[in-house]
Amino acid sequence: MVTDHSFYMNLAVEEAWKYQGLTYPNPAVGCTLRGEHGEILAVEAHHKAGEPHAEVNALKSAYYKLTQNKEILQLFTSEQIHTFLLKNHNNIFKNCSLYSTLEPCSHVGKTPSCANLIAQLGIKNLYIGVEDSNETAANGNALLVQSGLHVRLHVSKEKCEDLLFPFQKFLKERFVFFKWAQRLNGTTDGGIISSEASRKNVHAMRNVCDLLVIGGNTVRCDRPTLDARLVNGKAPDILILSRQKEFDRSIPLFQVPNRKVIIESDFSLLKNYKNIMIEGSAKMYELSRDIVDYYLCYLAPAFGGEEGFKNIEDKFEILNAGKEAEDIILWMKRRI
Contact criterion met (CB below 8 Å) for 164 and 130: yes
When binding is defined by CB under 8 A, the residue of 5, 48, 66, 131 that contacts a copy of itself is 66
- Chain-centroid distance, C-alpha 19: 4
Buried b (16+ CB within 10 A) or exposed e, 193-230: bbbeebbbbbbbbbbbbbbbbbbbbbbeebeeebbbeb
Give the nearer residue to a copy of itself in terms of CB position, either 42 or 209. Answer: 42
Q: Which stretch binds a copy of itself (CB under 8 A): 14-22, 163-171, 248-256, 298-306?
A: 298-306
Give the nearer residue to a copy of itself in terms of CB position, either 26 or 198. Answer: 198
Q: Is 88 in the site for a copy of itself (CB under 8 A)?
A: no
Give the nearer residue to a copy of itself in terms of CB position, either 197 or 321. Answer: 321
Q: Is 92 in the site for a copy of itself (CB under 8 A)?
A: no
- Chain-centroid distance, C-alpha 36: 30
Q: Which stretch binds a copy of itself (CB under 8 A): 169-177, 226-234, 259-267, 325-333?
A: 325-333
Neighbour-count burial of 264, counting CB atoms closer than 10 A to its CB (0-12 exposed, 13-18 middle, 19+ buried): middle
Q: How far apart are the first and last CA of the chain?
A: 42
Smallest gap from residue 77 Cβ to a copy of itself (A): 25
Give the nearer residue to a copy of itself in terms of CB position, either 76 or 303. Answer: 303
Smallest gap from residue 102 Cβ to a copy of itself (A): 24
Closest CA to 31 of 156, 203, 139, 150: 156
Helix, strand, or coil (residue 167) = helix
Give the nearer residue to a copy of itself in terms of CB position, either 291 or 328. Answer: 328
Buried b (16+ CB within 10 A) or exposed e, 25-62: ebbbbbbbbbbeeeeebbbbbbbeeebbbbbbbbbbbb
Q: Is 5 in the site for a copy of itself (CB under 8 A)?
A: no
- Give the CA-trace dihedral at 324, 328, 333, 335, to 10 degrees: 170
Smallest gap from residue 275 Cβ to a copy of itself (A): 24
When binding is defined by CB under 8 A, the residue of 5, 48, 65, 259 that contacts a copy of itself is 65
Q: Which stretch binds a copy of itself (CB under 8 A): 70-78, 133-141, 221-229, 300-308?
A: 300-308
Q: Is 321 in the site for a copy of itself (CB under 8 A)?
A: yes
Give the nearer residue to a copy of itself in terms of CB position, either 173 or 314. Answer: 314
Q: Under rule CB under 8 A, which residues in 173-212 are in contact with a copy of itself? A: 182-187
The total of other beta-carbon atoms located within 10 Å of residue 241's CB is 24
- The residues binding a copy of itself (CB under 8 A) are 1-2, 35-40, 65-66, 68, 182-187, 297, 299, 301-304, 306, 308-310, 312-318, 321, 323, 326, 328, 330, 332
